[in-house]
Amino acid sequence: MTKAFYITTPIYYVNGDPHIGHAYTTIACDVLARFKRLDGYRVKFLTGTDEHGQKVAKAAAEEGITPIALCDRNSGRFRALAKGLNASNDDFVRTTEERHVTSCQAFWQRLEANGHIYLDKYAGWYAVRDEAFYDESETRLQQSSQFIGQGGLISGGPVRVADSTGAPVEWVEEESYFFPLSKWQQPLLDFYDANPDFIAPKSRFNEIYSFVKGGLKDLSISRTTFSWGVPVPGNPKHVMYVWIDALINYITSLGFPDESGEFKDFWPKNDPVTLHIIGKEIIRFHCVYWPAFLMAAGLPLPRRIFAHGWWTNSGEKMSKSLGNVVDPHDLVAKYGLDQVRYFLMREVPFGNDGDFSELAVVGRINGDLANAFGNLAQRFLSFVAKNLEGILPAPGAFTDADQDLLRASHGLLAQCREAMERQAFHDAIESVWVVVRAANLYVDTQAPWSLRKTDPARMNTVLYVLAETVRHLAILMQPFVPSSAAKMLDQLAVPETERTFAHLGEAHALKGGTLLPPPVGVFPRYGDPKIGKGT
C-alpha cells in the first residue's frame, strides 16, 4: 500500500501582507511535498489563511471595511503567493469557510461531550498582536515612546508588554469557556517521553518539555467582547478563541468530522503521517495546546512538529515600522523563483535563524547554481550539440574514475532521504553538491574536449558518464528547483514519466544514441549583461 504523508504550513493571518517569512515556510513544505511525491508517497500538502479573531477584526475596522471584505482580499494575496512560489498545495483552507465552521463546532462538541470544557470567568492579560493570553509573570512594564513629526520622540508613559514578543497586552475580564489544560500536564510529558522526535529541533523539544514541566494553567478558549469568530455551539454569545479555531484547520481539510475519507488516511490512529512545519514563535500552540486538545477529543496526534527559525534582514528584525520587510514577489521578480527557493533552503540550516542579504543571494546564484551546477550541464551539452550533432554517445567500458562518479550519484537518494527525514534541507542539498563538485573535477581531469581527436571512444564514455550524473542530480533537485530541474531533464531527453526517484539508478539509465534537444542555459549568472540585470 502506498504510504501517506501529510504536510502543513501554519495558516497565515490575513491582517497583513505576505512576506519572506511566510514564503519560507511555504517553500519548505512544498519541497518536502514534492520530495515525498517523487519518492512514491501519497501526499497531501495544506496551506491557507487564519481569518478570525480580534487582530483581524481590528485591522478591518482600521481600514473601515468589514472583516470578511478584508479576509477575502488578503486571503487572495496569500493564495497568489503560494501560486507565485510554485507551491504544489493540494488544498487551501480559509477559516471563514463553512466546512471549517462545521469542523470547529464538531470538535468543540467532542471536547464538551468528553467533559473537557467548563464555563468560568477569565481575568488576565491578552496580547491582540500575538492572539495570546499571558500570565502577569510573562509580562513587563516598558516605557512607551511615540514619534512626533520630524523624528522627534516623546515618552508616552509605561505600557505592559509580553516578555517573549514585546506585544502590548491589555487587561481582559470576561465570561469564558475553559479547557482544563492543567489536567494534561502528565499525559503530555508521558507523550513527549515516548516520542522524543515529536518536536524538532531538539532545542525546541527541550523548551517545550520544561515549559510543560513547570506546570500548566487552564486555558480560556472563548471570547465574548467581540464577535468575529466561530460561534460556540449552544451559546453564540461566545466565539471560539482564535487559536483553537486555527489549529483545527489541519483536520478540516481532511473532511473532519467525517472520519471515513481522507481523514482516515492522513490522520490515522496508528503510525501517524502528519508533519506540521511552523515558525519557532508558535510552538506553544502547536506542541502543547494542539496535542492536549486532540487527546481530549479522543483523536490521534500528528507525527512531528518542526519549528524553523526566523529571518532577519541584514541583522535586523523585519518589521513594517522599520520598512525592511522583504517582499517575496520582488525577490522572485529580481532573481528568479528557483533561485530564491534554492537560496532559502540552502543558506541556513533549517531550524536556525538566518540573516537575509542580497549579497548572499547573489553569491549562491552565481557560485552554486550558475558556476557549479549550471555550468556542469551546460559545458557537455553544448559540446555534444556542436560536435556530435546532438546525439548522446554510447559509453565504452567504465574506468575506476567513471565508476566512482556513477556510484556517488547512485548513492545520493539514500543520503537525501535521510536528510529529508530530519527536515535538513541544507544537508540534502549539500550531499548533491558533493557530487556536483566531484563531477566538475571529473571534467577537469578527464578533459573530454581534448580527447575528440586522440581518443573519441574514451571521450564518448566520459560524456555519457557526465550525462548520467546530471540526470541523477537534476532528478534529485526537482523538489528544490522544479522548473530548472525540469529544463535540465528536458535537455537530456528524459521523458516526463521517467523522472521520479524510482527512475534513479542503472535500470533507467540514459541510452546512447538518443537525440538531445538544443541546449539552453538553465542557471544564468546574476549580473550577466546578456540577461540585462546589474548587481
Q: Which residues bind ligand MSP (CB under 6 A)?
A: 10-13, 21-22, 24-25, 50, 246-247, 249, 278-279, 282, 310-311, 318
Residue 293 identity: F
Least separation in angstroms between CB 12 and ligand MSP: 4
Least separation in angstroms between CB 200 and ligand MSP: 15
- CA distances to 110, 129, 147, 195, 260 from 11, rounded to whole Å, are 23, 16, 33, 25, 24
Q: Which cell numbers in the block locate residue 389?
A: 550533432
Q: Which is nearer to ligand MSP, 12 or 380 (CB)?
A: 12
Least separation in angstroms between CB 331 and ligand MSP: 13
Q: Which is nearer to ligand MSP, 75 or 249 (CB)?
A: 249
Half-sphere exposure of 441 (CA within 13 A, CB side): 10
Least separation in angstroms between CB 106 and ligand MSP: 17
Least separation in angstroms between CB 94 and ligand MSP: 12
CA distance linking residue 146 with residue 126, whole number of Å: 22
Q: Which is nearer to ligand MSP, 141 or 322 (CB)?
A: 322
Q: Which cell numbers in the block locate residue 13?
A: 493571518
Q: Which is nearer to ligand MSP, 247 or 467 (CB)?
A: 247
At how many degrees (to 10) do helices 425-446 and 400-410 cross?
A: 160
Residue environment code for 449-482, b if the CB has 16+ CB neighbours within 10 A, otherwise e? eebeeeeeebbbbbbbbbbbbbbbbbbbbbbbbb
Taking Cα atoms as reference points, which of 227, 248, 224 lies closest to residue 109?
248
Least separation in angstroms between CB 457 and ligand MSP: 53
Q: Which is nearer to ligand MSP, 92 or 380 (CB)?
A: 92
Radius of gyration in angstroms for the set of CA atoms belonging to the chain, rounded to a whole number: 27
CA distance linking residue 286 with residue 211, whole number of Å: 13
Please give the residue whose beta carbon sits closest to ligand MSP in the complex: 21
Q: Which is nearer to ligand MSP, 85 or 318 (CB)?
A: 318
Q: Which is nearer to ligand MSP, 39 or 50 (CB)?
A: 50
CA distance linking residue 181 with residue 184, whole number of Å: 5
Least separation in angstroms between CB 52 and ligand MSP: 10
Residues with Cβ within 8 Å of 419's Cβ and at least 6 positions away in sequence, in order, are 425, 427, 428, 431
Taking Cα atoms as reference points, which of 491, 498, 497, 492 lies closest to residue 512?
492
CA distance linking residue 495 with residue 50, whole number of Å: 40
Q: Which is nearer to ligand MSP, 170 or 316 (CB)?
A: 316
Least separation in angstroms between CB 253 and ligand MSP: 12
Q: Which is nearer to ligand MSP, 241 or 464 (CB)?
A: 241
Contact present, 8 and 277 (Cβ < 8 Å): yes
Least separation in angstroms between CB 40 and ligand MSP: 28
